[in-house]
Amino acid sequence: MYYTQEQIDRANQADLVSFLQSQGEQLTRAGNEYRWKRHDSLTVRGNKWYRHSQSKGGGPVDFVMEFFGKSFTEAVELLTGEKGAVPPPDRPCPASLSDFRLPPPNSDNRTARNYLTAARRIDEDVTGFFFARGDIYEDAAHHNAVFVGRDEDGIPRYAHSKGTAGNFRLDVKGSDKAFNFCYRGESDRLFVFEAPVDLLSFLCLFKKAWQKQSYLSLGGVGEKALLRFLSDRPNIKTVYLCLDSDQAGNDACSRLAELVPEGYTVHRLVPLFKDWNEVLQHRAEITDGKYIREAVYGLKEPPQEETVEIIRMSEVDTQTVEWLWEPYIPFGKVTIVQGNPGEGKTTFALRLAAACTTGGTLPGMKPLPPFQVIYQTAEDGLGDTVKPRLIEAEADLDRVLVIDEAKRELTLSDERIEKAITQNEARLIILDPIQAYMGEKTDMNRANEVRPMFRRLADVAERTGCAVILIGHLNKAAGGQSAYRGLGSIDFRAAARSVLLIGRVKREPNVRVIVHDKSSLAPEGKPVAFCLDPETGFSWIGEYDITADELLSGAGGNTTTKTEQAEKLILDLLADGKELASEDIVKAAAEAGISERTVKNARRNLDTRIEVIRRGNQWYYRRNEAKSAK
């Protein structure tokens, strides 16, 4: 259709505030201007608009083409409400397909290639694929990178020029936004992006078998290219909206999901940073390969039948577990530490927190650089109990953080947990005890109430990579199996990837043992003990022979039993005045199923009943007959 210059001028004199309000869009006043809720960095005033995030603006016709995905003639019609006339034979309509010409290419693509690989860090094999097809090239006049969109017959119908220096970007005159930059695969899945650079960045991040899928750039957030692509490709069944992680992207995803015709499944993939190129720029820092902040499934589902989304294990990226203390406490997962009151749970938690803030270690723990720790307690005073004990543990107090609960109590599903972890780059959060953070309306014995709360907390741990430790009390069911001694629903234990049990050894009241009672990510670690001596204070003992059920039963565990066995074995070996090297005693004990640690404990218990003699580099033992006879 053809519009006169007078009609075009009327369109460009339209009041954008009134136009947006007539389209049902929400605006907020900011002085003499208005902000558009859908694009919070964009302001309008009269017939002018300006997008601050891109230093770009213009008049109403440009605005409608940019943000509503309309062609030039469609934009004039929408703004004026007037139909165009058939163009005179000697004059084509403005921006018609006959006006569309690809900018002349440069003799080589060196500048454009360098811009995409060096400045945008897009892999050369990805850019090379599209350069070879002619879907990306460098124009001769300005050395811009030109992204070409083709129709189903391969005919160029659209082109976008992106400056290789500065912020220049512009659709080539006559471009039809219905045919944007894309790649057509044979599978039934389509991934949708705001810009070509984000599309290319996504391919670099998820490169495995990428040519099977289809990918589409919208050239903004308009729906025109998406609807045309779906119309031309009836094999598409699932649409993944991969728009920017900002308010404009959020709003566009909601709008596009509604506009997608019935019969499609629509999901959203939210990038870890604002957009996919920013994620690519930080790829080296994301060691766990988790480039997606959130996957929102089911924005739209086919109404006629229920579908089950299937994840093929061949498409799942293998990820290694990061450990705070292997194999007891993983990063990015929930760990529960439980035990009876007064048996060392808080002492252990504070010692762990102190070590993390200074780069210290626990037995068998690999050194880590110091990091921030969030410590929440509902049972101990910060000033009179927690801080003095942290000082005693030699913690870096500047790295121990507490979420202020003065105005609102914290719960496991509170959004402040994730914000505090992210804002402070914390790698460990401890909540002591679990029961205090369930929320007053949550029945901790009801699985249907516990599961969603733990699921949200586990998702927070997964997204942030932070280790989450929950301190829990045991119930009073004495003698029961350890799996059923946790207070509240068994789902507490089921949701945790690791469960540690801390208890007091009956025959050694100063000794506390940490037993690895559940481990979903690695073989269970050996029990580890520490001493709380009234005179000398805290000290690590090391490995200890005892089971969770034995520790809970109060029987003292097989450490006590085997220690007594070891004592008898040593005395028997040294009977009749025999003298043996220490390594021979250890070997004999090993054959009897007694560990070297237990032998050392037994030797200490025997004290003066045996004599220790050193010859060269070897230690020898014999009975002190005078002491043994007493």
- Residue 478: its pLDDT value, please? 47
pLDDT exceeds cutoff 90 at 4:
no
- Residue 181: its pLDDT value, please? 97
Distance CA(108)–CA(130), nearest Å, equals 14
- pLDDT band at 630; cut points 50, 70, 90: very low
pLDDT tens-digit series, residues 382-426: 999 999 999 999 999 999 999 999 889 999 989 999 999 999 999
pLDDT tens-digit series, residues 33-83: 888 888 777 888 888 888 777 667 778 887 888 788 777 778 888 888 887
Longest dimension (CA), the chain: 126
Q: For the beta carbon of residue 63, count every other beta carbon within 10 angstroms.
A: 25
| φ, ψ for residue 616, nearest 5 deg | 65, -125
- Residue 8: its pLDDT value, please? 79
Give mean pLDDT, residues 581-594. 86
- Residue 93: its pLDDT value, please? 43
Give mean pLDDT, residues 582-599. 85
* Residue 595 structure tokens: 């560990």
pTM of the entire structure? Answer: 0.44
Q: Is 623 helix (H, G, I), strand (E, B) or coil?
A: strand
DSSP conformation letters of 58-104: E-HHHHHHHHH---HHHHHHHHH--PPBPPPTT-PPTT-GGG--PPP
Verify cis geometry, omega within 30 degrees of 0, for the bond prior to 433.
yes
Give mean pLDDT, residues 175-197. 95
Verify cis geometry, omega within 30 degrees of 0, for the bond prior to 89.
no
Q: For residue 16, which of 60, 58, 52 has the smallest C-alpha distance?
A: 60
- Residue 166: its pLDDT value, please? 83
Q: Which of 299-308, 318-327, 527-536 has the lowest mean pLDDT?
A: 299-308
Q: How much of the chain exceeds pLDDT 90, in percent?
A: 50
pLDDT tens-digit series, residues 480-537: 444 444 554 566 777 789 999 999 888 788 899 999 989 999 999 999 999 998 888 8
Is residue 602 within 8 A of residue 566, CB to CB? The reply is yes
- Residue 607: its pLDDT value, please? 76
Q: Which of 268-282, 550-564, 587-601 has the lowest mean pLDDT?
A: 550-564
pLDDT exceeds cutoff 90 at 350:
yes
Instruction: Tell me which of 369 and 573 has the higher pLDDT.
Output: 369
pLDDT tens-digit series, residues 120-137: 999 999 999 999 999 999
User: Which residues are within 8 A (CB) of 49 and not within 5 positions of it... i.e. 6 or more apart?
Assistant: 16, 42, 43, 57, 58, 59, 60, 62, 63
What value does the mean pLDDT of the chain take? 86
Q: Please, what is the angle between helix 247-259 and helix 224-232, to 10°?
A: 40
- Residue 305: its pLDDT value, please? 61
- pLDDT band at 457; cut points 50, 70, 90: very high
Instruction: Tell me which of 455 and 303 has the higher pLDDT.
Output: 455
- Residue 554: its pLDDT value, please? 64
Expressed in percent and rounded to 5, the helix, strand and coil fractions of the chain are: 35, 25, 40
